[in-house]
Structure 1
Amino acid sequence: MGGPGEQEKHDGQQGKHDGGSVAVEDSDAQLVLMVRSGDQSAFETLFARHRSSARNVAAAQLDNFADVDDVVADAFTSVYQALAAGKGPETFFRAYVLTTVRRVAHRMNRDASRTSPTSESHILDTVHAHDDPAVAKFESSAVAQAFRSLPQRWQEVLWYVDIEGLKPAAVAPLIGLSPNGVSALALRARERLRQEYLQNHISSSAGKDCEEYSTQLGAYSREGLSPRNQARVQEHLEGCPQCTALLLDLNDVQTAMRAWIFPLVTGVAFTSAFPGLAGAGA
């Protein structure tokens, strides 16, 4: 996906190579290109980077924990075959892998349920997120629409920093930026997400009052309005639960993304896949 985020430079974080070996500094996007050119060691690096997250999602998805490693192995094999065939992701490798894990886990659960005794209702009654009508709600939510409207590079940095809660230094090698570059890109992406979210809210809200004041909520939350306009927005909020709820969402974008975006990609709630991070700030 193109867009302004795709213009970000790598801040001198290009990987250094010696005889074709993979460098620690290689970004996921660089490694994907290397895999497509036949470098299997590049995929081994991708596997090492993303295996832990894949296991977390598989464990949260599966009915039988003993199947976790099989699901992860099958998912990465599928991704490797896609890349070798010139398909698969260009950027945002993590999301592609976790989506693949979700699909493989669902297939394994489904196959197991066909061979399990019907008395095991705890298996037969398992709800899989991508078969659940709630997925349609996720996809149509203002947060999901706003997130999907961003360039993939911006989605990627928000995923790592705001959803998974990684520090910029940990994200830097994954996306090919310096830690400072990660922080700066996350700020830009977060602000654009708020803007897109506001626009989606305005499009779906009724009444000229909400349309007028919704456009000012971002600046209001940062106390960036003139005293007069700050007071006018405050007065509107006191009588408008809808805009008040929106303001709360804008001030807690991380929680909103964890609640809506993470299940879209993985098929499970964030708290199920990363219980140790649930409720923690980035």
Structure 2
Amino acid sequence: MVIDHMRMALLWYRWSEVSDTLVLDRIRQGNKQALTVLIGRHHASVCSYLSTCLTDPGVVEQATHETFRQVHEAAERADLLTVNRIQLLSAARSVAIDIWRADPEGCAVTDGFRHWVTSGGSWPLEAPAALFDAYRSLPMRWQSALWHMAVDEDKPSVTAEVLGLPPGRLTITGQRARHALKDFYLAAYERSARDRPACLAHARDRAVFTTVVPGATATGHSSLCLPCAQADADLADLDLGLRLQLPAMLLGWWNDTAYQQMRALALRNSDPRPLSGSIRSA
């Protein structure tokens, strides 16, 4: 047992600054350790997300295994050139849908997931889109960083591993990502307000005040204007806005409370990280 823990510790040390994208590249090259590392980094999140879809723990684990199997096969075929947690959760959602549709009477699903699927699996297009659009304008690396930092609230060491960063560089990366997100948001905000003079003036004031005094309110206009009030709220706490808006906009189905609870439990019980069995093609 001591030897096993020593081997695992050595494995994580060797791969600690290898990004998920490079891990995927090594999977493509046939490195068996690489798949273990990818599973170890994301198993808790994938399994927790699937637990918000499916109610049988055995089926959840089956679906988790199937998710990583599909990713493994896609990597070997070179159909998948990059990987991140959002992609894995998206793949998990598709696996859950397929499992339920294959046996709708025998497969138990959560009420919320059943309602979401049967109502057409729609995305919340009526939700505020400015923050989402700004997020999607960022480089993929910064998108991934903000997901781990704002939505999943991962430990800095975990986020640094996923991005392939030395721990000391993560703070700088996060600052740059948030600064760019704010710039893209403000630019989109101004474009959307072109035909509304009062909103446009507020948007321009907000850009100045956000730069000088973060979180300051430039005028009283937003107290009477819902779109500008939403913009003020988004800019005052970007991380909160991302956590509230981003998952549903990216994944469609999302139960934040259930996901966070299951994930906290999975991470607390991991030793040293949650791993599943070997992945074999069907």
Task: Provide the TM-score with structure 1 as the length reference.
Answer: 0.76
**Which residue, 163, 171, 176 being the options, matches 1:183?**
171
**Which residue, 206, 215, 221 being the options, matches 1:217?**
206
> 1:164 maps to which residue?
152
Quick check: 2:50–2:92 contact (8 Å CA) kept in 1?
yes
> 1:208 maps to which residue?
197
Written as runs of structure 1 = structure 2, the 5 A alignment for 1:114-133 is 126-128=115-117, 131-133=120-122
> 1:6 maps to which residue?
none
Quick check: 2:151–2:239 contact (8 Å CA) kept in 1?
yes
Residue 266 and residue 48 in structure 1: after superposition, are their counterparts in 2 closer, same or farther (change >3 A)? Answer: farther
CA distance in 2: counterparts of 1:246 and 1:74, whole angstroms = 40
CA distance in 1: counterparts of 2:111 and 2:20, whole angstroms = 39
Deviation at 1:106, TM superposition (A): 1.3
Gaps of 5+ in 1: 1-17
Written as runs of structure 1 = structure 2, the 5 A alignment for 1:21-170 is 23-90=15-82, 92-113=83-104, 126-128=115-117, 131-137=120-126, 141-170=129-158
Quick check: 1:27–1:175 contact (8 Å CA) kept in 2?
yes
Deviation at 1:190, TM superposition (A): 1.0
CA distance in 2: counterparts of 1:162 and 1:123, whole angstroms = 24
Greater CA deviation, 162-171 or 146-155?
Answer: 162-171
Deviation at 1:39, TM superposition (A): 1.1
Gaps of 5+ in 2: 1-9, 265-282
SS at match of 2:16: coil
CA distance in 2: counterparts of 1:191 and 1:121, whole angstroms = 38
Identity %: 22
CA distance in 1: counterparts of 2:155 and 2:88, whole angstroms = 21
Matched, 1:250 2:238: no
Deviation at 1:216, TM superposition (A): 3.3
Task: Provide the TM-score with structure 2 as the length reference.
Answer: 0.76
Greater CA deviation, 168-177 or 206-215?
Answer: 206-215
- Cα offsets for 1:78-116 (capped at 9, x unmatched): 0000000112142x4212211100100111122232567
Report 1 or 2 for greater relative contact order, CA contacts < 8 Å, sequence distance ≥ 6: 2
Residue 204 and residue 37 in structure 1: after superposition, are their counterparts in 2 closer, same or farther (change >3 A)? Answer: same
Residue 65 and residue 215 in structure 1: after superposition, are their counterparts in 2 closer, same or farther (change >3 A)? Answer: farther
Aligned residue-pair number: 250
Residue 183 and residue 128 in structure 1: after superposition, are their counterparts in 2 closer, same or farther (change >3 A)? Answer: farther
